[in-house]
Amino acid sequence: MSVQDEMISLFKKELELCKLKPNETVAVLTSGEIRADYAKAFLAAASQIGANAFELKLPQAARGNEGSFGITPLTDNRVAVECLKKADLVIDLVLLLFSKEQLELQEAGVRILMVVEPFDVIQRMFPKESDKKRVLFATDLLKNAKELRVTNQAGTDVTYQLGQYPILTEYGFADEPGRWDHLPSCFAAATSNDGGVEGVVVMDKGDILFPFNRYLQEQVTFTIKDGFVTNIDGGFEAMLIKDYMESFNDSRAYAISHIGWGLNERAQWHSLAFDDQVFGMDGRAFYGNVLFSLGPNSELGGSNDTPCHLDLPMKNCSLYLDGRLIVKDGDVVIEEMKPIDSQLTR
């Protein structure tokens, strides 16, 4: 099978997971020639299912700060937004994440699937139907919790107050009206009540820094008060993080963003060592990680829409919800969230 044929058959499986019906319409959103092979394959896969499909190609976004979120090729392009609202499923190949246009499409009931990872990563981390149940289990745990605490051997001890905002649920397919998801993913995350994070996060050597796409060579310590980072200590990498954050000239960049744990057992921590030109779902969805992050909470209904967003996956952490152990030293201890083939039969 050629790579293009493999792509069509895998994307057809994905569209089936997204419950695409023959009477529906798929819009594939592209910009320039980036991921032109994905666009072609999604259009072919949609046709095989019998659905209508079209590609909407936009000029590149006006450039924001390097790696910043929220400014997309759809920004201020009203006709394009209205056009996409009429589709049932939008395949986002341009990264609409954290944009108000994405929220507008979701509110109109459009399902949105973001696809930006290299094909070998998508193949390896490709979702299973059963992932949904495991991620929804995590979602319910977070929904019912009032307090989340994370610790690690390096000295992390941080507490989040929860309950004000909805939960971010990513299982890798957009199968319900208004649902946004990301191929591949597999994790759930919460964001704290306004101002409700206190403590210290010590990222350890080997933990991951996005969007820098690199592993930490030394520890970095974040001191957190009232939901904001008040101090960043460490060596060279702490300096680099501070410098990057300062470049946004936005005090809201220092807010604490989403927190949760990964459930994709097909994700590989070491993958960045071989290809750093990735979005980084391996680190973000890694089974048993804790995904700490800084910046916006607008995706979860908050008012902070700063374009400065750092995702900081940490290994070997322990995570508690209202005192109950959920992740122990980087391993998920709740049966219902373990990989389906390693769950005890009940």
Residue 168 CB, nearest approach to Fe ion (Å): 8
Cα-Cα-Cα-Cα torsion 175, 179, 181, 186, nearest 10 degrees, comes to: -70
* Spatial contact of 280 and 125, defined as CB atoms under 8 Å apart: no
Give the angle 57-61-66 at the CA atoms, nearest 5°. Answer: 135
Q: Which is closer to Fe ion, CB of 105 or CB of 189?
A: 189
Question: 78-85 and 100-107 helices cross at what angle (nearest 10)?
Answer: 30
Query: Whole-angstrom Cα distance, residue 237 to residue 219?
Result: 8
Residue 293 CB, nearest approach to Fe ion (Å): 5
Tell me which H or E stretch contains 241.
helix 236-246
Based on C-alpha coordinates, what's the Rg of the chain?
20
Tell me which H or E stretch contains 285.
helix 281-285
Q: Which is closer to Fe ion, CB of 204 or CB of 311?
A: 311
Q: Which is closer to Fe ion, CB of 31 or CB of 257?
A: 257
Residue 310 CB, nearest approach to Fe ion (Å): 8
- What backbone torsions phi and psi does residue 258 show, to the nearest 5 degrees? -70, 160
Residue 95 CB, nearest approach to Fe ion (Å): 12
Q: Which is closer to Fe ion, CB of 28 or CB of 263?
A: 263
Structure token digits, residue 34: 């980036």
Q: Which is closer to Fe ion, CB of 216 or CB of 312?
A: 312
Residue 211 CB, nearest approach to Fe ion (Å): 10
Closest CA to 31 of 72, 67, 87, 82: 72
Q: Which is closer to Fe ion, CB of 108 or CB of 300?
A: 300
Query: Whole-angstrom Cα distance, residue 117 to residue 304?
Result: 26
* Spatial contact of 268 and 285, defined as CB atoms under 8 Å apart: no
Tell me the residue type at 248.
F
* Spatial contact of 183 and 13, defined as CB atoms under 8 Å apart: no
Residue 86 CB, nearest approach to Fe ion (Å): 29
Residue 311 CB, nearest approach to Fe ion (Å): 4
Q: Which is closer to Fe ion, CB of 30 or CB of 139?
A: 139
Residue 28 CB, nearest approach to Fe ion (Å): 24
Q: Please report, as ranges, the residues that interact with Fe ion according to CB under 5 A.
A: 293, 311
| Chain centre to alpha carbon of residue 147 | 22
| Omega prior to 339 cis, within 30 of 0 | no
Query: Whole-angstrom Cα distance, residue 344 to residue 341?
Result: 8
Q: Which is closer to Fe ion, CB of 20 or CB of 319?
A: 319
